[in-house]
Each structure stands twice: as structure tokens, then as C-alpha cells.
A and B are shown apart, each in its own frame.
Chain A
Amino acid sequence: FSGAGGGNDIQWCFSQVKGAVDDDVAEADIISTVEFNHSGELLATGDKGGRVVIFQQEQENKTQSHSRGEYNVYSTFQSHEPEFDYLKSLEIEEKINKIRWLPQKNAAQFLLSTNDKTIKLWKISERDKRPEGYNLKEEDGRYRDPTTVTTLRVPVFRPMDLMVEASPRRIFANAHTYHINSISINSDYETYLSADDLRINLWHLEITDRSFNIVDIKPANMEELTEVITAAEFHPNSCSTFVYSSSKGTIRLCDMRASALCDRHSKLFEEPEDPSNRSFFSEIISSISDVKFSHSGRYMMTRDYLSVKIWDLNMENRPVETYQVHEYLRSKLCSLYENDCIFDKFECCWNGSDRQVEFFSLCTSGSYNNFFRMFDRNTKRDITLEASRENNKPRTVLKPRKVCASGKRKKDEISVDSLDFNKKILHTAWHPKENIIAVATTNNLYIFQDKMN
């Protein structure tokens, strides 16, 4: 929908790219999560090496009024380390699965980061002054001989170069037997949930030595296991409501007021299956890899292997809209199963909005060949864009891409067989207020902006 006219059309332009250019990607550099904070001023990434990098948006340049601030490195720290659980003979990856920001309450910023087993609350604070002029200490910290002190002075704060420090304030450990896939902060800003394959726990941000189990789908006999939890999220406004998605393509909405253990859902969202279409792959591709509430909480978006679906919380029996991300892959499922790509977990995101009304709403999700897709719910138009260093001229509108499913390939189209399945865009994030998106390729972070007129 770029260039087609109409007030709501966004024209995406390349803004920045972060990360190494070389093709030889170290495992540790694989980006595993991307998240803007509530104001959009900060953008955090987590990687397979357990590191977090936070970028900060520059203040808008008054002279260059047509470009929004650039994102530059603000802080970077090692959030998680690899561990080995000797008791269970289990290797615990340091990969950061999710980052979620807390809303800002004071000068410092707080975020939750999690790997497979442990969630950590990090405080990121600035220091731009330091005390000088102590009586008993030299500037380098050495103690002075007290007998040499003949006068007294009052130490004062003097400005220093900005230093950004990250410190772990809480460690929430030992509550998950299985691998954590989601964390979600409640709208009460006091509690949050963490979900693994079979259980969901509720924590208080101040309390690390206990958490409440609120969902447990582990069967008494593991042989009867048919379904796992794939994602979970709190409702944006209702502090007792949350949803979780499953590997069978269902979403369950639970209300914590109904009972302490929310094993019985309040609502079950499931699209009836077309029995003529059932195959070995059906369940695998129906597995939901991400679920995100809309800003008002009226809708939720889910991503399964081939599509993005929009659900109205008032209607459980089918989604209100379905958007095909890469339907042409349906005839490639055999090879995608063999190379494990069929198990790739794509995320999805809504456009930012500080309005409660969703008149203008867009959905974004990634695909292969460093392509990502956007769907406009109002016009029903969609676009495919590419995150590539070849498109890196700022303020040049990105050219839409097209995949040719079969038959004659037109000029500028790419055939399905030429797609690079190692170039996956699993993580995308939309600035909460502006038309700025962050798109992660394997080891690079791209930032795209709306071309301002």
C-alpha cells in the first residue's frame, strides 16, 4: 500500500541497521528478542549469547525536521549465563527468550529478561555526576593519612561523562521445570506471569522466593501429553484476565477471579478444522507461536506457521480475520519439515497506538528471505518488504517484494525455490507512538521509518 494514496498509507524507508556485516554469524549473535519500552525512547534486543543491548532514540533534531531521532547504543550487559543443572543433567541455555519493559516510575528504567529457566529484573540507571573533595580519601580512592588533614571541606557533586549502569535487582528462579516461552507484565504493574511449556506462574515483582501456579496442563501420565503452552499474555486493561495459546492452535482466556488454579478456561478460541485438509502437518502448522492483545484489549492477534489471525474476544468459534503470510509454503511443507523450518516460531505485532480506538490498525509479522509482511485491517491491503543492506538509502521508500508461487515468474519477483530459508525474520517490534519499526534478521537489527512529508 505504499505510494497508492490515501491518508493512512505508510511509506516505509530504511533508517538504520545495527550489527556486523559479515556472513559468518556466531551463534551468540543471533537476535532472539526485540522490544520497545513504553515511550519508544528505548529499544532493547536480547541474543543467544545471553546479552542485552539497549538503544536510545536521539532527541529530535530541530534543523532536520524530516527525520526522527536515530537509535544509538545506550547500554549493554550480560543478562544470563549458560548453566548446567547437575541434578537433572540439563544444559540451560543463556539465550534471552523475552524482554518486557516496566513502565517508567522514576529516573531509572526497569526491564524483565528471561532465559529458559530464570527471570531477572534489571535496573538501568544513569550516572552523570560524582562526588569529589572527600577529606579522608584521595580522588582515586586511596585513604589519606589523617595527620596530613589540616582543613575540612564539604564534598560536592561534579558533572562527569554519562555512565549507564545495569544491575540485577531481582532474580526469579527455580519456578519452572520446563522452558519459559513468555513473560507478561500485568496492568496492575505489580505482578507478572511467566509461562513454560506446561505451566504458568504468577509473580509479584518485589517477591522472588515464591510464585503462584495459575495454570498447569501437565497430564498425570506424560504419555497422554498432546498439547503444550506456546505463549501467554495479560490483558492490557483487565488485571485478572490473561490468555495462553497452545501447540494445537487454541487460545484460552482465563480469569483469575474464578479460581486460584485457572485450569478451566473462561473462553476457548478455536477455529474449526477443515477435515478434508487434514494431514500430518496440520497440527504442526496450526501451532500458535505468538499471541498479542490489541491496545484496547478487544482483539487479539495470533501467529501460526502460515498465517496471522485476528480474534474478537467476543467470538470464540473463529477468527474475524485471517491474513496469509506465505501461503505458497503450503506446497513445500515436506522439505520445511525435513530442514526443521516448519518449527520456526514467528512473532507478530500491532502498530503502535496511544489511542484506544483501533480505527487504524496494522499487523506485522516476519517470513523467510528476510522478508516481512504488513497487513492493513481497514483496507485489507498487504505488503511484503525486505530487510536488506541493499536498500539502505535513507528516505528512499522501500520497494515492495513479491514471491511467485508457481508458473511464470515476472520480472522482480522471486520464486519460492529461490527463497533463503536461513534468513528468517522471527522478531519485529513497532514503536508505541510513532511509525517506526524494528526488524531483526538473524544477527542484524533494522530500523525503518515512515517517510515524513
Chain B
Amino acid sequence: PLGTGAFTEETGQEKQDAQEKGRAVPPERAEEAKLKAKYPNLGQKPGGSDFLMKRLQKGQKYFDSGDYNMAKAKMKNKQLPSAGPDKNLVTGDHIPTPQDLPQRKSSLVTSKLAG
């Protein structure tokens, strides 16, 4: 809700717009309609769990060393199926290789703020 306290030209304008629109849809609902039009399958739950689960799972990588080693043993000289162009999604049917996982090295360079 538009709050009390600061008066700025921006909020003054917004209030005016809302009054003019009167019966029109508030901006947030209009934006929601836009989003639903683009993504009709978007979850029914407002905000909520999908984002939270994604937030909790940040950093999760999928690399099964067992699968990898067994596949390596079976295939021997054959080429291992490697990850597709989207290297960030190393999961599912193909066997990820260590090369597919993005390299994490610590910064060897000094921060440019100190330069």
C-alpha cells in the first residue's frame, strides 16, 4: 500500500494516476495479468514455495562419481557422452564429466578496489 510519510513527486503522480484510473485495475494486478498471459502454467500459489525451494537449493550440483566411473569403465576407449551446450544443467540422462562442472578457483588477483 502507498504509505504515509514521504511525499515525493513520484508518489504524487502515482496517486493521481490511480485516482484517474479509478475503476481500472491496480498496477500490480495488471502486471500479474501480463505475466499469466506469458506463462499460463505459472504456479497457482502466489510467490511462495517455488522460490523458497530454489533459494534453499542454491549451489546444488549434480555429479554422481559412481555413475561416472562405471560409465568410464564400460566405455573404455569410446567417447563418453558429454554435456550439451547448456553446461549449467549437469543432470539427468547424460553423464557429466569433471570438465562439465564449472571450475571454481579462488581469486588469485587482488581486488581492483585496492589497486
CA distance A50 to B6 in the complex (A): 38
Q: Report whether B61 and A90 are in contact in the complex, using a CB–CB cutoff of 8 Å.
A: yes
Check A332 against B31 for contact (C-beta < 8 Å). yes
Given contacts A91-B59, A92-B59, A382-B8, 19 further A-B contacts (CB under 8 A): A19-B113, A20-B115, A78-B107, A90-B59, A91-B61, A197-B52, A223-B49, A225-B49, A226-B49, A276-B26, A277-B1, A277-B26, A279-B32, A280-B36, A282-B47, A309-B3, A323-B6, A402-B10, A444-B113
B113 touches A18 (CB 8 A): yes
Given A84-B104, A225-B53, A276-B26: A89 and B109 within 8 A (CB)?
Answer: no
B2 close to chain A: CB less than 8 A: yes
Quick check: B46 and A94 within 8 Å, CB to CB? no
Q: Categorize the interface residue count of chain A.
A: 35 or more
Bitwise, A331-351 to B at CB < 8 A (1) or not (0) is 111100110000100000000
Contact indicator A281/B59 (Cβ below 8 Å): no
Distance in angstroms from A99 CB to nearest chain B CB is: 13
The answer, yes or no, to whether A45 is at the interface (CB within 8 Å) is yes
* Shortest CB distance A113–B (Å): 14
B56 touches A281 (CB 8 A): no
Q: Which residues does A use to contact B, with CB under 8 Å?
A: 18-20, 28-29, 31, 45, 47, 49-51, 53, 73, 76, 78, 81-82, 84, 88-94, 116, 178-179, 197-198, 222-223, 225-228, 247, 271, 274, 276-284, 287, 307, 309-310, 319, 321-324, 326-328, 330-334, 337-338, 343, 375, 380-382, 402-403, 405-407, 443-445
Contacts of B56 in A (CB 8 A): 178-179, 197-198, 225, 228
| Cβ contacts under 8 Å, A227 to chain B | 52
Q: How long is the Cα–Cα vector from A197 to B63 in the complex, in angstroms? A: 25
- The answer to whether A29 touches B11, judged by C-beta atoms less than 8 angstroms apart, is no
> A179–B60 Cα gap in the complex (Å)?
12
User: Given B11, B14, B46, B104, which contacts A280 in the complex, CB threshold below 8 Å?
Assistant: B46
**Distance, CA A443 to CA B111, complexed state (A):** 10
Given contacts A93-B59, A274-B1, A321-B3, contact A331 B52 (CB under 8 A): no
**Would you give 26 A-B contacts (Cβ < 8 Å), ordered by A?**
A18-B113, A20-B112, A73-B113, A82-B106, A89-B62, A223-B49, A225-B56, A226-B52, A227-B52, A228-B56, A278-B46, A279-B28, A281-B47, A323-B5, A324-B2, A324-B6, A324-B10, A327-B2, A327-B11, A333-B27, A333-B31, A334-B34, A334-B38, A343-B51, A375-B6, A405-B17
